[in-house]
Chain A
Amino acid sequence: MLWPPDWIAYLEGSELADTIRENDLLFPVIESVHVLAICLVVGSILVVDLRLLGLASVTRPVSRITSSILPLTWCAFAVAVVSGGLMFISNATKYLGNGYFVAKMILIAVAGLNMVVFHAIGAKDMPKWEKSARLPLPARAAGALSILLWIAVVACGRWIGFTMEVR
């Protein structure tokens, strides 16, 4: 298999990628937007995780917390993906060769998997327990795992900046 794949090489060679590489202001602006979006993703998910752990908002049912906050999380995540994608294409080959970048992508995938598994299995009988302050073990475990994964995502993100010479 060809590595990096053709389409990544194509994106890296695109005019857009070239502009981001060459323009002094564009990369820091995109990076700032990325940090801002990540902060909202992590902070808003933490509100849900702390509820799952029974450490905050315990008087509110879980579904009320998620329905009020997850739209913001998804909007911020979309902004983070677009801004992150723009930084990625500006130096795709170097990012793919960076262990922290690869680890960050895997950790985000695991965080997504954690969410999907919790929705599919752990939250099946949610109406029965979502009002109680102390939730069943699967819910608490999903919350704790989510917090740890997102801390690791942020750490990897920061370490990319110290282990890669892009400019």
Chain B
Amino acid sequence: MTSAAVLSDLSKWLAATPLSHTIQTTGWIIPALQTIHILCVAVLFSSAILLDLRMWRLFQRDIALADVGQRFLPLIWAIVPILLITGGLLIVGEPRRSLLNSTFYLKMALLAFALALTGFLQWSLSSAPGFWDKDRGRRVAGRLAATVSILAWCGIIFAGRFIAYTQGG
């Protein structure tokens, strides 16, 4: 069986579950889940952007980078499970919309990358508070990492919105 066939079968099976039926037939559930999902994205995205802006020295320069990290990084990890649950329920409600949509997989790949980068930033700040200030090379690398992080999170939001426009039949 090809993976597309497996995903198609999985979608059919998911769509036939009682939970999926409830989500499909109760009109307010999907917009409510999407609202919670977007609010959580707002918290996570802003946290990540503020940390990235601090790495660029454009935000709260008077606070040590490691302290800004301590303020916002735990928030990112706390929000991820809520995003996975609301996102998971949206998939159960409309499996084909995501599971048979390459934009969804692009979003998940970007998410995995962004989270790995966030984990790396967290590790770097805990290993040495001045990790990104050691020398000129590190400072440039820090700004590069922050820029890549901003682009990855923006890409995730774009991909998320484009899932609605690229769904197949």
**Chain A residues within 8 Å of B, Cβ to Cβ:** 28-29, 31-32, 35-36, 38-40, 42-44, 46-47, 56-57, 68-69, 72, 151, 154-155, 158-159, 161-162
Contact = CB atoms under 8 A, between A and B. Distances in A.
B128 to A, nearest CB: 23
B47 A43 contact: yes
B162 A32 contact: yes
5 contacts: A39-B157, A42-B42, A43-B45, A68-B59, A158-B38
A101 B35 CA distance: 15
A15 to B, nearest CB: 23
A39 B46 contact: yes
A32 B157 contact: yes
Contacts of B30: 162
Contacts of B59: 68-69, 72
Contacts of B140: none
A155 B31 CA distance: 8
A42 B53 contact: no
Given A28-B165, A40-B45, 6 more contacts: A43-B42, A43-B49, A47-B46, A69-B59, A72-B53, A155-B32
A57 B47 CA distance: 13
A19 to B, nearest CB: 17
A28 B160 CA distance: 11
Query: Which of A29, A68, A72 has the largest count of B CB atoms less than 10 A from its CB?
Result: A68
A31 B157 CA distance: 10
Contacts of B38: 35, 38-39, 154, 158
B39 interface: yes
B157 A68 contact: no
Contacts of A47: 46, 50
B161 A57 contact: no
Interface string B43-73: 1111101100100000110000000000100
B34 interface: yes
Nearest to B158: A32
Contacts of B158: 29, 32, 36
B42 A31 contact: no
A57 B75 CA distance: 13
B46 A40 contact: yes
Contacts of B42: 38-40, 42-43, 46, 154
Contact of A159 (B31, B41, B49): B31
